[in-house]
Structure 1
Amino acid sequence: MAAALSAVVAGVCSAGTAVATPRAGSGGGEPVMPEADVAYHGQVSLAAGRLGIWLVPENHGPAALPNATVRLRLSVDLAERQRLAEGCARVEARVVVCETGSLPVQGSGRHIGLVLLLKERPAEAVVRIDTWWNGGATDTELENNEHAVLALDTGDTYAF
């Protein structure tokens, strides 16, 4: 898992980049991209300069994915020091990416839980969630894997 994330962070794969893999029995013609429907569900909370994010990546099929990468873009700067969950990396002042792990058809990947320390104590923060890299699959239903969540500094939980 860590090697795949390292490749993504190093820029080997980036948003929109797909690796073509021929489908079995395709006859060696043009490579056919597998199709998967990646979705994210979870919650966000903000309290006293700490942004909590918990999410579950899912795949509604029709093809399984060996891995994907979810991107979390924040409207506020992260503190310099962060303790991130395994499989997650900070790639910019306001961006964290995390591996989803294997995404079986009609199944879920690993649950991702983060408590991000913010540089300041904002009254609100927006978290934008989307797929940064999807293992080379085509995903035609983006509305379930692209979210923008506004969290107020109340400690309340906001679901997506």
Structure 2
Amino acid sequence: MVGDGASLYTIEGLAAGLLMIATAAIVLQSISVYTPGDTHIDDMLLEQLGADALAVLDLPVEPDGRTQLEVLLHNGDDGSAFHEAFYPLLRMRSFAPDDPVQYAASISFRDGDEGVVVVPYTSAASHTGAAPYTGRDPAIRVSRWVHLQAWHGLPPPIPNRDQMALLEVILWRG
């Protein structure tokens, strides 16, 4: 007759086996393999980063006040003040201090008979020393509508009148 010791060893062996199988299943399910087909994840992160940076600039400085984007555009900024405000927001991450995010911004507005006119606002070459976007690198576009009042200081061809303008920023890693 088999004693109680053998039964305990059998139960202990089965429990240890189940524990090892469960551990292996958890470890294998938690490992994620990054393949070249998953590059859309980087694009989504870059898009969220750019959208968040523009959203921060589009918050009113004081209650019922103007946003920082409106202030920059109304002061006739040539893109340098926009870079001083926007670029640090892109770089404000603790996990990737050397992330080579570059951007180029443009302002689009409707001009009567001519339809939509796009005016370059800033380029990456003027601020980061990099070549402008060529269209070959994967890039994303984030945008924000800004209300321009008749007394804004932007140079022509942007007419001095009340209007809504679309500030578009193309972001890419390069």
**Bucket of the pairwise TM-score, normalised by the shorter protein:** 0.3 to 0.5
Structure number with higher relative contact order (C-alpha < 8 Å, ≥ 6 residues apart):
1
Q: Which has the higher strand share?
A: 1
The structure with the largest alpha-carbon Rg is: 2
Looking at secondary structure, tell me which structure has more helix per residue.
2
TM-score, length-scaled by structure 1: 0.34
TM norm structure 2: 0.32
